[in-house]
Chain A
Amino acid sequence: MRKLIITGGEPLCGEAWISGAKNSVLPILAAALLADEPVTVGNVPHLQDVTTMMELLGQFGVQLVMNEKMHIQVDPRTINNFNAPYELVRTMRASILVLGPLLAHYGQARVSLPGGCAIGPRPVDLHINGLVAMGADIKVEDGYIIASSPHRLKAADILFDTVTVTGTENIMMAATLAKGTTVLRNAAKEPEVKDLANFLNLLGAKISGAGTDVIEIEGVERLGGGTYSVVPDRIETGTYLVAGAITGGRVKVKHTKHENLTAVLHKLEEAGAEIQADNDSITLDMRGRRPKAVNVVTSPFPGFPTDMQAQFTALNSVAEGVGTITETVFENRFMHIQELHRMGANIMVQGNSAICQGVPNLLAAPVMATDLRASASLVLAGLVAKGKTVVDRIYHIDRGYECIEEKLIQLGAQITREIGQGLLTIRQVDSEGVDF
């Protein structure tokens, strides 16, 4: 079992680069299925979920080629089957994103239902209902969504009951090749949705309104090829900024976009950080100060992202005062708190809120990662705790953070990865992230 071993207690000081957004690249790779020509996707993070998506596309017979910079060329013209098996879908819920493109382009798809999720229910009903409204014939049999459409999908006016990012993305992709103009209401406004729309428009789609809650998609006959670079990962950006804040340090993150992180930056300023942002970097400076506790309520973009909640719980655990984190998006997203208790945090959970009385110091302890962002919060806690914190089950973190220990080393952290019996000390990487 792989572990991260962190010797904490020192302020971080340094610079790190930000990778492409996982939540952007996965739908974009799925959207490549809509094209009639090869597409090349750049700024792809080297993550387990990306490998899984490539494996899934490869399973369809799609030809994938990559270079040493993680530019992935997808040639969908060799596709020869439309089956997304449970073995792959169960390891990555984003696999459901192939449903819309397969159905719209090839008129058929057989995609396993994703199954349970640790942080709460994420039903796919909204995806299915949207596609049915567009004329698809869909049934669920033996744990699989079996979808077909003998004719071209037709446009529809679709109102989502709740805001769903992957639902918006799936229907938006399907609508690009549908006949007529589809309107999505109460659509997700996340930057990753906008990035997907930008990618599809590059290929010849006609999408307007992405980034607002009403998206219009005028269907086209076909999509061509092109080269696209995905947006920087706003959650990774926020996580490294919190790493600076929690340790009272000064960190600069590069190759990122501050405009996609407004709510998080605002909360970091409230916590006492000095923030400077320019075109492609953000600098956070705590000037050695202990952070102040902040109150956070998660909500869909442009609100405070649920994917940053656990990191702010860790921040509040060492902050001055009392801070409350209220989770409104997922039901079961406080699993990291039991582990933070083991490090000396004083946090009380009441319903969907975590009330945290900050303590001056956390103490190192062996802890166990339970999901992706919970893992990040434990690493952050380890950075500020005195002694050696061992974070177990880090395969969760490898799903969403590219080269996390290398980047934290760049920021001045003492962190090593234990693989099996021995310890592997990771080499320093250069500022462009070329050598990993």
Chain B
Amino acid sequence: MQFEVRVNDQDILCVTGKIYLNDIAQACAQGSALIDQLATVRVDMSGVLDSDSGCLAMMLEWLRVAKVQNKDISFNKLPQFMLDLCRVCGLDTVLPVDRVLQFHN
């Protein structure tokens, strides 16, 4: 496994390493379980070294999980290649990158 999904001591969900399509099911499950434990979901993507559009699918899944649980969510510190990937896939306006999407009542 080349990636890690964990919550740090500041309650930030951190994604690190290289994460590709074949890793996404596992990463989604790990992240979703961790989201259950958080009041507000702040995701630090700065540790992602390489990825593909599968990672965007993971982010969309976490967005969905946060919405179901009425939790605010944001994806922060995306590396430039991830920002480019978001733009290429037309998701830069959909995913809450460096902004908070509020779902809580």
Write the residues of chain A forming the contact surface with B, with a CB cutoff of 8 angstroms. 46, 63-70, 73, 434-436
Contacts and interface: CB of A to CB of B under 8 A. Distances in A.
Nearest to A44: B88
Given A65-B53, A67-B53, 10 more contacts: A63-B21, A65-B52, A66-B53, A66-B85, A67-B51, A67-B52, A67-B81, A68-B84, A68-B88, A436-B88
A68 B84 CA distance: 5
A436 B87 contact: yes
B68 interface: no
A435 B92 CA distance: 13
B55 to A, nearest CB: 10
B12 to A, nearest CB: 24
The interface centre, meaning the residue of A63, A64, A65, A69 with most chain B CB atoms within 10 A of its CB, is: A65
30 contacts: A46-B88, A63-B21, A64-B53, A65-B20, A65-B21, A65-B52, A65-B53, A65-B54, A66-B52, A66-B53, A66-B85, A66-B88, A66-B89, A67-B51, A67-B52, A67-B53, A67-B81, A67-B85, A68-B81, A68-B82, A68-B84, A68-B85, A68-B88, A69-B84, A70-B88, A73-B52, A434-B84, A435-B84, A436-B87, A436-B88
Contacts of A63: 21
Interface in B77-96: 81-82, 84-85, 87-89
Nearest to B89: A66
A69 B53 CA distance: 11
Contacts of B81: 67-68
Contacts of B52: 65-67, 73
Q: How large is the interface on B (under 10, 10 to 19, 20 to 34, 35 or more residues)?
A: 10 to 19
Nearest to B24: A65
Contacts of A434: 84
Contacts of B84: 68-69, 434-435
Interface in B3-40: 20-21
A404 B53 CA distance: 24
Contacts of A436: 87-88
Interface pairs A-B: 3 shortest CB-CB: A68-B84, A68-B85, A68-B81
Interface string B56-86: 0000000000000000000000000110110
A67 B21 CA distance: 11
A46 B85 CA distance: 12
A73 B21 CA distance: 11
Contacts of A73: 52
A70 B84 CA distance: 10
Nearest to A66: B53
Contacts of A68: 81-82, 84-85, 88
A66 B87 CA distance: 12
A69 B88 CA distance: 8
B50 to A, nearest CB: 9
A55 to B, nearest CB: 12
A142 to B, nearest CB: 33
Nearest to B57: A65
Contacts of B20: 65
A72 to B, nearest CB: 9
A252 to B, nearest CB: 25
A414 B98 CA distance: 32
A67 B79 CA distance: 13
Contacts of B88: 46, 66, 68, 70, 436
B53 to A, nearest CB: 5
A436 B89 CA distance: 11
Contacts of A65: 20-21, 52-54
A404 B96 CA distance: 28
A252 B52 CA distance: 33
A259 to B, nearest CB: 30
A70 B87 CA distance: 11
Nearest to A64: B53
Contacts of B53: 64-67
